[in-house]
Amino acid sequence: MEKYDIIIIGAGPGGLTAGIYAGRQGTKNLIIDKDMAGGIGREVPEMENYPGFDNISGLELIEKMKAQAIKNNELHEMENVEEITKDDSEYRFTVKTDKDQYQTKSIILATGSSRKQLNVKGEDEFKGKGVSYCATCDGFFFAGRDIIIVGGGNSALQEAIYLKNLGANVTIIHRGDEFRAQKQLKDQIKESGINFILNAVVEEIKGDILVESVTIKDTGTGALMNLPTNGIFVSVGYIPHTELAEQLDVQLNETGHIITDKNQKTNIDYVYAIGDVCVGLKQWVVACGEGAVAATSVFLDLQN
């Protein structure tokens, strides 16, 4: 069984950064991801707030980070970690995947999150038939057509602008009375002429073979309105992936996120956590910073 000093589970921005820092420390490291490196970060159409780049796509930035990480680390993509067990030996963790198993002295959990669903009638029925959760994946098919974006945060507004630039006729539906996004994004929405309906929620998605309309409800009056559309893109937040953390009895907060200290340590010795699976601001630059901190913390702890 192959042995490592550090196994990093998740190859998003945080996991890759942890690998970059760990690799330069001379430790033997493995990065594992159940998908391609980058996860949902690959879907970000444009970023204008990542230091060093005026504008860069998530996919382009991930590929640059991946190239750095694999210089001094093993990277296993498309390999799903199914179980982690712990004992009192030097290589105290056994990581079992759907392809192999490994032993390691320490674990960095960078397992990220996945997009929430609306959980409304018609959503499951029309997945891939007009219901989408990824503008960069599916936006091309909606050029020149009417689409709805559901959400009011940074991701929702970024995707609305991206789809507008592809030539789609975009309407944003948001349950609040104002967007929760950064001011620059809100200003871009106004300048672009993108339509939006506030204080409204989607009640049902309708169609025959493909999506044809959605029913929305005014959260104040309860009034219903049928809105014709060719597609609906859902961007209403994320669910942290904490299944492996729970196997190790890692402490979570009331929203289901991992609790860490300033060194990214969890309540379990030699288990660290970074990125969207943790409590804190959901931003690439934050995940990268946490990855650097965690890799350094592991290195120092392994010297003791």
Nearest to 173 by CA among 122, 227, 133: 227
CB under 8 A, 24+ apart: contacts of 225-231? 227/148, 227/171, 228/146, 229/130, 229/146, 229/147, 229/148, 229/171, 230/130, 230/142, 230/145, 230/146, 230/147, 231/130, 231/131, 231/132, 231/138, 231/141, 231/142, 231/145, 231/146, 231/147, 231/148
Integer CA distances (angstroms), 240 to 87, 106, 216, 252, 262, in order: 26, 21, 28, 10, 20
Quote the tokens at residue 265: 């340590």
List residues bridging with 226 in a β-sheet: 215
Residue 160 is inside which H or E element, if any? helix 154-165
List residues bridging with 106 in a β-sheet: 6
Between CA 12 and CA 31 the distance in angstroms is: 10
Between CA 59 and CA 75 the distance in angstroms is: 17
Name the pairing type of β-strands 74-76 and 238-240. Answer: unpaired
Catalytic residues: 134, 137-138
